[in-house]
Chain A
Amino acid sequence: MNTVLEVKIPRLQRDGFALNEIEFHVEAGYLTALLGVNGAGKTTLLSVISGLLPLPENADVMIGGYSLRENEREAKECMGFVFDDSPFDEGMSALLTGDMYGPYYRNWDRAKYLELLERFEIPKKRILRKLSKGMKMKFQLAFALSHGATFLIMDEPAASLDPVFRDEFMEVLSEVLEGEECGILLSSQLVSELEAKADYTVMLHEGEQMFSNSTEQILDRFLLVRGRYELFPYMKSRILGERLSEYTAEGIILNDGDPVRLDLECVRPTMEDLMYYVKQGVVKKGMV
Chain B
Amino acid sequence: MEQRRSFGEYFLFLVREGMFRLRRELWGWRGLAALVTAVYMVIDLLGAMESDRITMGQGMAVVWLVVLFPPRMGKLLYLLPFSKKERVHYLMMYLFTYLVFQIFVFFLVGAGACLISGYSYLEWLRFFFCCTLQFLIMYSGIMVYAVAVQKEQKDAYTWVTPFYRNVDWQQDDTVGGIHEDCKREQEPEKRKKKRTELTEEEWETRKKELWFNGVTVIGVIVAAFQVYIGPVFFGKGWFGTWGFWGGTVLAYVCAVLVVYVYWNRAWEEIHKKGNSGKEERVCNS
Contacts and interface: CB of A to CB of B under 8 A. Distances in A.
Interface residues of A, number: 57
B180 to A, nearest CB: 8
Contacts of A44: 175-176
Interface stretch (A80-88, A159-167, A169-177, A247-255): A80-88
B19 to A, nearest CB: 11
A47 B175 contact: yes
B183 interface: yes
Of listed B20, B153, B282, residue having the most chain A CB within 10 A: B282
A101 B16 CA distance: 12
* 5 closest residue pairs by CB, A with B: A39-B182, A39-B179, A72-B275, A76-B81, A69-B274
7 contacts: A13-B185, A69-B275, A90-B153, A101-B76, A106-B3, A108-B1, A206-B183
A64 interface: yes
Interface in B72-121: 72, 74-76, 78-84, 86
A44 B1 CA distance: 34
B83 A73 contact: yes
Interface in A125-155: 148-150
A43 interface: yes
A91 interface: yes
Interface residues of B, number: 55
Contacts, number: 159
Contacts of B278: 70-71
Nearest to A59: B274
B77 to A, nearest CB: 9
A16 B1 CA distance: 45
A38 interface: yes
B44 interface: no
Interface string A208-230: 00000000000000000000000
A64 B81 CA distance: 13
Given A65-B283, A106-B3, A73 B82 contact: yes
A76 B185 contact: no
A126 B177 CA distance: 33
Interface stretch (A48-56, A186-194, A234-242, A259-267): A48-56
Contacts of B76: 87-88, 101
B9 interface: yes
A16 B186 CA distance: 5
B74 A72 contact: no
Given A71-B278, A87-B79, A91-B24, 5 more contacts: A39-B181, A77-B283, A86-B153, A103-B3, A206-B183
A52 B282 contact: no
A68 interface: yes
B187 interface: yes
B97 to A, nearest CB: 12
A87 B183 contact: no
Interface in B136-164: 151-153
B285 interface: yes
B192 interface: no
B78 A52 contact: yes
B81 A77 contact: yes
A71 B82 CA distance: 10
A37 interface: yes
Interface in B240-285: 272-285
A77 B83 CA distance: 11
B13 interface: yes
A89 B150 CA distance: 14
Interface in A66-125: 66, 68-74, 76-78, 81, 83, 85-92, 96, 100-101, 103-109
A53 B153 contact: no
B195 interface: no
A89 B79 CA distance: 13
A249 B79 CA distance: 48
Contacts of B74: 87, 89
B176 A78 contact: no
B184 interface: yes
Nearest to A56: B274
A89 B177 CA distance: 23
Nearest to B28: A91
B2 A106 contact: yes
Contact of B79 (A13, A50, A69, A106): A50
Contacts of B16: 100
B282 A77 contact: yes
B272 A54 contact: yes
A78 B284 contact: yes
B178 interface: yes
Of listed B3, B187, B281, B284, residue having the most chain A CB within 10 A: B284
A103 B282 CA distance: 15
